Amino acid sequence: MDSAGQGVVLKGELPVIPQHIAIIMDGNGRWAQQRGLPRLAGHRAGTENLRRIIQACADYGIKILTLYAFSTENWARPREEVEGLLALLSQMIDRELENLRKNGVQLRHLGSLEGLPPDLQSRVRQAVEMTATNDRLIINVALNYGGRREIVEAVRRVMRDGLPPEQVTEQTLARYLYTGDLPDPDLVIRTAGEMRLSNFLIWQAAYAEFYSTPTYWPDFSPEELYKALVAYGQRTRKFGGLPG
């Protein structure tokens, strides 16, 4: 992000700005393969793209951005790719943390630190602590995250707290999720053309609008984000009811 907040030239006034968007950053490997590059080069390009999308979100007035960085299922990928991706995430924190802190970005972690390299665990904790009081933009980084595991862990915490069954409502369980103090996402964006959530925010995204683009994540520009926001503004959100 730049300190002046002038990273995006708006193409036109957006009538509706979602408060919370979530992005499944897909297609890094295919982006690299199309260019005859190793898959890790695609992941590197993907992490470098984060800066301009974070800046765009701040400029558009989006308050919460949730990024699917590494899922619990990603451990099944080749060891070299996993280690390389986690190293890139660690480097990104080192490179961007101070700038994000100065620009009012609050970083949060969704998922489990258990199993991650110790140096990455330390960097994540430091990033969360250093930015805890910022409020311009909240960025949730879903790292070693799985939606089903999140729900299981929430149920376990409910049980540990000894809540009687009649007190366990949807609202109660939602408060025990990683995002318990945040509104649910209004818009879920997935790059690279896929049409599924892939175990991402499966509770929170129940009534989110879904937007899929064939653009691979490294090429997902502020202009592509603008297109997604325009499409969102054209939707009628009924939440299971009828439009008013």
List the chain domain ranges.
20-146+184-233
pLDDT band at 1 (very low <50, low <70, confident <90, very high): low
Contact 50, 220 (CB under 8 A): no
Mean predicted confidence (pLDDT) in 34-63: 96
Active-site residue list: 26, 74
Predicted local confidence at residue 237, as pLDDT: 74
What pLDDT does 238 receive?
Answer: 74
Residue 9: per-residue pLDDT: 45
CA distances from 145 to 60, 103, 134, 136, 215 (A): 27, 26, 23, 24, 24
Q: Which CATH number fits domain 20-146+184-233: 1.10.287.610, 3.40.50.261, 3.40.1180.10, 1.20.120.1630?
A: 3.40.1180.10
* pLDDT tens by residue, 121-173: 999 999 999 999 999 999 999 999 999 999 999 999 999 999 999 999 999 99
Tell me: pLDDT of 11 over 90. Answer: no
Residue 2 has pLDDT above 50, yes or no: no
pLDDT at 242: 65
pLDDT at 15: 81
SS3 192: coil
